[in-house]
C-alpha cells in the first residue's frame, strides 16, 4: 500500500452568498484537483455560500434591524440543505473522480427544524458518500448573531489511504478537548478550515502539528470587494464599509515535527498541492504520542457525547 497522500488546499473565494454559483466554483475546483492527482481536496470554513462579513460592516448587534433581518434571510435562502440534495453534484464528482472532499458549508438542517444555520464541515469519501457533518461547537464573537452552536456528532475521523483524517472549524482548533477527541480516534492528518487570513493560521498550524505529531493542514478562503455579487442585498452600504481585502487566505501545511512544509500563502487564489509521506508520522510518534505511550488514561480521560442533538425524541 502506498505510504503517501496528495492533498489539495482550495484557497478560493465564494461567489458571496450565492449558493448555486459558489457550488459551481467548488465543482470546477474538485475537477481541477482530481486532474492533478489529488486524493483529498479541502475548502475553507463556510465557503458555501460564504462567511457573514456583513455583521462587522453593518452594526450586526442592532436589535430588530430590518437590514440585519434581510441579510440573514438572504443567507438562509442560500444555505445548504444536505437532506434536499444540495451537495448531490459534489458527491457525484467525488465518486466519478475518486477524490475525498472536506467542504465548509453553512448548513440549514432539517433535524433542527430547517431554519437555524450551522457552520458545518462536511466529509465526503471517494465513493461519493457523506460520511460526517461536523457542526461547529461554538461560533465565535459576531458569528453567534447568525450561526447556532453544534454538537459532537461530527467529531469523527476517516481512513484515507495510509492516513486517518479529522477536521475542525476555525477557532475550534484552539479547543484542547475537541482536538483530543480526534487524537484519541487515531487522527494523524488534521484538517483546519478557516474563513481566511494569515493571522488565523500562522501560529496554530505549527502548534497543532507539533502537539499531535500529525500533519496539519489549514485551508482558508479569500474574500475581496470584487467578490460581492451585484445582486447582494444592501450592496451599496456593504461596499462603503468594506476594506479592499476582507480575507487574505493563509492556507498552509505543517509536518509532524511542527516545521513548515508550505508556509501561509496570502492573496493568491487557486490550488495549493503537496504530497505527504506517512512515515513522517511514525518517525515523530517515536518520542511523543498524545493518545498512545504519552497518555495516562488511568488518570485523565475524555468523555465525548457524539449524539446528534434534536428537540425531538421519537419513540
Evaluate if residue 1 carries a pLDDT over 70: no
With a CB cutoff of 8 Å and minimum separation 6, the contacts of 64 are: none
Q: Which three cell numbers, joined as nine digits, stand for 246?
A: 476582507
pLDDT digits (tens, 9 = 90+) for 157-197: 999 999 999 999 999 999 999 999 999 999 999 999 999 89
Model pTM greater than 0.85? yes
pLDDT digits (tens, 9 = 90+) for 77-91: 999 999 999 999 999
Residue pair 151/307 in contact (Cβ under 8 Å)? The answer is: yes
Over residues 1-5, the mean pLDDT reads 86
pLDDT digits (tens, 9 = 90+) for 87-114: 999 999 999 999 999 999 999 999 999 9
Task: Please report the pLDDT score of residue 49 as a whole number.
Answer: 98
Over residues 19-26, the mean pLDDT reads 98
Q: Which residue has the cell 488546499?
A: 9
pLDDT digits (tens, 9 = 90+) for 231-278: 999 999 999 999 999 999 999 999 999 999 999 999 999 999 999 999
Evaluate if residue 228 carries a pLDDT over 80: yes
- The sign of the dihedral angle between the CA atoms of 99, 103, 109, 115 is negative
Evaluate if residue 2 carries a pLDDT over 90: no
Secondary structure (H, E, C), 141-171: HHHHHCCCCCCHHHCCCEEECCEEEEEEEHH
Question: In terms of residues, how long is the chain?
Answer: 315
Evaluate if residue 149 carries a pLDDT over 70: yes
Query: pLDDT confidence of 121, banded at 50, 70, 90?
Result: very high
Which pairs with CB-CB distance under 8 Å and at least 24 residues apart come from 70-76?
Answer: 70/233, 70/234, 71/233, 71/234, 72/146, 74/17, 74/232, 74/233, 75/17, 75/49, 75/106, 75/117, 75/146, 76/108, 76/115, 76/117
Distances (CA, A) of 81 to 44, 90, 103, 195, 243: 18, 13, 14, 20, 31
Task: Please report the pLDDT score of residue 118 as a whole number.
Answer: 98
The hierarchical CATH code for the domain 4-285 is 3.60.110.10
Q: How far apart are CA 73 and CA 70, in angstroms?
A: 5
Evaluate if residue 313 carries a pLDDT over 90: no
Q: Where are the domains of the chain?
A: 4-285
Evaluate if residue 207 carries a pLDDT over 80: yes
- The sign of the dihedral angle between the CA atoms of 252, 153, 31, 27 is negative
pLDDT, averaged across the chain: 97
Q: How far apart are CA 59 and CA 141, in angstroms?
A: 13
Over residues 214-232, the mean pLDDT reads 96
Q: What percent of the chain has pLDDT over 70?
A: 100
Residue pair 75/47 in contact (Cβ under 8 Å)? The answer is: no
Task: Please report the pLDDT score of residue 315 as a whole number.
Answer: 84
Amino acid at each position: 500500500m502506498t505510504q503517501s497522500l496528495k492533498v489539495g488546499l482550495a484557497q478560493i473565494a465564494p461567489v458571496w452568498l450565492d449558493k448555486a454559483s459558489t457550488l459551481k466554483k467548488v465543482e470546477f475546483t474538485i475537477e481541477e484537483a482530481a486532474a492533478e492527482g489529488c486524493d483529498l481536496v479541502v475548502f475553507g470554513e463556510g465557503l458555501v455560500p460564504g462567511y457573514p462579513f456583513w455583521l462587522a460592516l453593518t452594526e450586526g448587534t442592532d436589535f430588530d434591524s430590518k437590514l440585519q433581518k434581510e441579510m440573514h434571510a438572504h443567507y438562509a435562502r442560500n444555505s445548504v440543505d444536505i437532506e434536499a440534495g444540495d451537495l448531490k453534484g459534489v458527491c457525484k464528482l467525488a465518486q466519478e473522480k475518486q477524490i475525498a472532499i472536506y467542504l465548509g458549508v453553512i448548513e440549514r438542517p432539517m433535524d433542527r427544524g430547517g431554519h437555524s444555520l450551522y457552520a458545518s464541515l462536511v466529509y465526503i469519501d471517494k465513493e461519493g458518500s457523506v460520511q460526517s457533518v461536523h457542526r461547529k461547537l461554538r461560533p465565535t464573537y459576531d458569528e453567534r448573531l447568525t450561526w447556532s452552536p453544534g454538537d459532537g456528532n461530527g467529531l469523527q475521523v476517516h481512513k484515507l489511504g495510509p492516513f486517518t483524517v479529522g477536521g475542525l472549524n476555525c477557532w475550534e482548533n484552539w479547543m484542547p478537548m475537541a482536538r483530543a477527541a480526534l487524537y484519541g480516534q487515531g487522527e494523524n492528518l488534521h484538517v483546519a478550515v478557516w474563513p481566511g487570513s494569515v493571522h488565523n493560521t500562522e501560529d496554530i498550524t505549527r502548534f497543532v502539528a507539533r502537539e499531535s505529531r500529525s500533519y496539519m493542514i489549514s485551508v482558508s478562503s479569500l474574500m475581496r470587494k470584487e467578490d460581492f455579487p451585484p445582486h447582494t442585498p444592501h450592496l451599496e452600504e456593504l461596499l462603503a464599509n468594506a476594506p479592499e481585502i476582507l480575507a487574505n487566505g493563509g492556507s498552509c501545511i505543517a509536518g509532524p515535527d511542527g516545521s513548515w512544509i508550505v508556509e501561509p500563502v496570502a492573496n493568491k487564489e487557486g490550488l495549493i498541492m503537496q504530497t505527504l509521506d506517512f512515515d513522517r508520522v511514525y518517525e515523530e510518534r517515536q518520542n511523543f504520542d498524545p493518545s498512545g505511550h504519552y497518555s495516562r488514561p488511568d488518570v485523565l480521560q475524555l468523555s465525548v457525547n457524539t449524539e446528534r442533538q434534536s428537540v425531538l425524541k421519537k419513540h
